Structures are given as C-alpha cells and as structure tokens.
Amino acid sequence: MSGKVLVLNGPNLNLLGTREPDVYGAETLDSIEANCRARAQGLDLELEFCQTNSEGQLVDWVQQARDTHDLLIVNAGAYTHTSVALLDALKAIALPVIEVHLSNIHQREEFRHHSYVSKVAVGMICGFGGFGYEMALESAAQLLTKK
C-alpha cells in the first residue's frame, strides 16, 4: 500500500439520497463509499471511511489518525463552517488534509462560504457530488507519492 487514508464525514451525510436531492443529488453515502473503495484499490491506497453526526466524535477520529493514517479527506458538513475544535484537532495532527464538499459551497448561503477546514487543508474539492471524493483520492495518491 502506498498510503492509509481516512475519509471523515460529518453531520447529516448519512441522509444522502433523501436529503435535499436538488442540492446533494440522489447518491447515498454507501454508494459514495463503494466507489471510493474501488478507486482506492486501484490507487493502492488503504481506505477507512467513517460518518458521524457528533462533533466530538470527529475530533476524536482526527486525533487518533495521527498515529494510524497518512492523510485525511474531510467532508465535515455543517461543522466546516462552525467548528474551531475540529480546526484545532486538524492543526494538531500535522497530516495532509483534503477538504471535500458535494455542493459548491461558494454558490450557496453566505455562511457556507467560510470554512475552518480550509485553514489547514492542502486543497478543497467542491461541487462535483460524490465524484469529488474520488478526485480527492486521486489527489491523495499524488501527495503520498511525493511524500
């Protein structure tokens, strides 16, 4: 394996497929995960994929990743725009972070334009639906190869 990647998903992403399909599409988180697993295998990446509605759980997973993973892909959902605790955890672990959003957050409500995750992310992929996760895995493979 060329790297171990942790994909973290925040609140309400478990409702994909039924939650505001006009904004988030009809794809479920399970189908996004399946596509990611297939893509990761082709990229020789080991993948762990998690979702929680709890800010504290996200922070715990980030802290644990320091010793177990090489890179994080994060779709923090609404915590993107509100969580200083998540920002602090991401800063503390000093791992590369790729930020992903299903929708283009810059075309949405003003409060969604600000991202705490972006303060530490290598880059952000937004507006491509579930395919954005696969794009993030491609980027992860390149970053880890250069490491």
Out of 75-79, 101-105, 107-111, give the one with best mean pLDDT.
75-79
Say if residues 95 and 121 touch (Cβ distance below 8 Å): no
The Cα 3–Cα 47 span in angstroms is 9
For residue 110, the model assigns a pLDDT of 80
Among residues 69, 101, 116, 133, which one is catalytic?
Answer: 101
- Which residues partner with 107 through β-bridges? none
- Domains belonging to the chain, first-starting first, are 3-146 (3.40.50.9100)
The Cα 52–Cα 11 span in angstroms is 6
* Cα-to-chain-centroid distance, residue 95: 13
106 is catalytic: no
Q: Output the pTM of the full model.
A: 0.93
24 is catalytic: yes
Among residues 24, 79, 116, 133, which one is catalytic?
Answer: 24
Say if residues 47 and 36 touch (Cβ distance below 8 Å): yes
